[in-house]
Structure 1
């Protein structure tokens, strides 16, 4: 018995060693492509570097983050505009991902059913996701234009509105417009992952439920949803991380309007428009920390849940 345990331990070590050997090239590329720029950004966040003279800077510690100077708190953490950008980004991520989860589930269930031309419909549903974000954002910007946009024209035609709506002039309407465009573009991604999980479900569970006369809605919540939960969680995590760092969609639709700034747009404004590399790097570093902490939390919670289920 001890010999078998030793053999299993040796095999496990060989597998771990082989895994690290296969991962080494990828890790090296990531370190060169992503690691060095990230470390450079973190370093600049502790300096007063400016874009026009990037090599001439001095170390100022945490002054870009928070500093008490002449009876006043200064820095990123004391900037109301930054906290508004944080709240706006979190709101956008929560609302858009929630809507995409519901619509993605509905679309996946519909595409999982058998009907004529199902393959063609599955291919067509991926078109919004395949369109580059810049292209889709510019297309929707024309459609939402208050003068000649097709959205206002359609709403006027059916009597839903009395006058053209300036969607991008009101920050609240602009954020809802951004949510609509994001949902239109990325719901197919969520639906695709859920559909892949649905395709792998065992058919005998549904046969047994049908024989027992269980209502389809109850089958969905008791059988389907628990079985596809891992795929659904992966889809929502990927979408949440993508939504938290949203930049191009908001920037193209609303330019640099202060009422619709996300964390990424705010960081870009400090880096490029104000040429304050130190302050913009601090904003980028905090954005990275938010996303990293969210990812780590999801991974740890998933691991704890899996360990709890295996212990049962």
Structure 2
């Protein structure tokens, strides 16, 4: 009995030592990058928080009046400006990320199942939009739908609701449709690439076992493939959600916030750069930062992913693979 207890204790100590070594190795590999990112981002964030507590204009940087949380109260009380920008930002984020996830997963499956000889060419073709600079992509989409220089109205005038005189950027919903479409076209390859890496981690043995048990294609997908690539899905959704929530280039180039398309990042830009209200602009930026942190926390907690193992909880995984 004592020998068995000793063996269990020795095994436990070995596991703990191995875990400590893995943690130490992880910090050694990620530590330098973490320190650099902290140095680059910590000061701007701290400066923004500090400036948001003052009544500060860019034309008089030496005249600082401490106002505490008054800038935040001013931002939150501006119903027609801030909350509309928040609503538009959330709408763009939710719709863009949802469509990107569906299309990206389909593209990942296509690249994963493609013939070996065609995989390289197929992946290159799919990743081309992601390699284009965001500003260039935004200008391309703007000129495609512009009422004067665009070809969309001429080519698709036969589609109900589209005419050669249609001004896409004059109405809120049509302008948002173009902005969201440009986001989807530009960033779907990024999600597809991350999900492709997740698909590569799904064991062929699990799929073969599911086939032997009589599972059809849909059951294999929902009960084997998706549960075992939950970490990749979480990373893809998290990255794209954070990026879409901070959207700026497409909105600035296509509408400049007109026609009810102003987003939070553009609102912060207007307050800080155009109206020279550094205090109010910093308050909007800090609110955006808090929202981004909350999104990240909710995503990590909601997916319940063990990033160390690259899967969900062990119990959940066993349940799904039975």
Cα contact 2:227–2:317 (8 A) shared by 1: no
**TM superposition shift of 1:283:** 0.3
Aligned: 1:181 with 2:182: yes
Structure 2 CA distance for aligned equivalents of residues 176 and 8 of structure 1:
53
Q: How does 1:1-312 map to 2 (within 5 A)?
A: 1=6, 5=12, 9=16, 12-13=19-20, 16-17=23-24, 19-66=26-73, 75-80=74-79, 81-115=81-115, 117-156=118-157, 161-257=162-258, 259-301=260-302, 302=304, 306=313, 309=316
Question: Could you report, residue by residue, the CA deviation over 1:60-99 in whole angstroms, capped at 9, with x for unpaired residues?
Answer: 1111011xxxxxxxx0110111000001101111111111
Indicate the SS of the match to 1:54.
strand
**TM superposition shift of 1:156:** 1.9
Structure 2 CA distance for aligned equivalents of residues 22 and 206 of structure 1:
34
Structure 1 CA distance for aligned equivalents of residues 165 and 172 of structure 2:
16
Q: Normalising by structure 2, what TM-score?
A: 0.85
Structure 2 CA distance for aligned equivalents of residues 214 and 306 of structure 1:
23
**TM superposition shift of 1:159:** 6.9
Cα contact 2:55–2:279 (8 A) shared by 1: yes
* Pair 1:220–1:176, CA change in 2 (3 A): same
Structure 1 CA distance for aligned equivalents of residues 123 and 11 of structure 2:
49
**TM superposition shift of 1:288:** 0.2
Unaligned runs of 5+ in 2: 1-5, 307-311
Q: Which moved more, 1:133-142 or 1:53-62?
A: 53-62
* Pair 1:15–1:209, CA change in 2 (3 A): closer
Structure 2 CA distance for aligned equivalents of residues 306 and 203 of structure 1:
20
* Pair 1:162–1:6, CA change in 2 (3 A): closer
**TM superposition shift of 1:24:** 4.3
Q: Which moved more, 1:174-183 or 1:108-117?
A: 108-117
Structure 2 CA distance for aligned equivalents of residues 178 and 118 of structure 1:
30
Q: Normalising by structure 1, what TM-score?
A: 0.88
Cα contact 2:228–2:317 (8 A) shared by 1: no
Q: Which moved more, 1:158-167 or 1:232-241?
A: 158-167
Count matched residues: 304
**TM superposition shift of 1:28:** 3.1
**TM superposition shift of 1:105:** 1.3
Structure 2 CA distance for aligned equivalents of residues 248 and 24 of structure 1:
32
Equivalent in the alignment of 2:309: none
* Pair 1:25–1:201, CA change in 2 (3 A): closer
* Pair 1:7–1:227, CA change in 2 (3 A): closer
Indicate the SS of the match to 2:156.
helix
Indicate the SS of the match to 2:61.
coil
Structure 2 CA distance for aligned equivalents of residues 96 and 224 of structure 1:
24
Cα contact 1:194–1:232 (8 A) shared by 2: yes
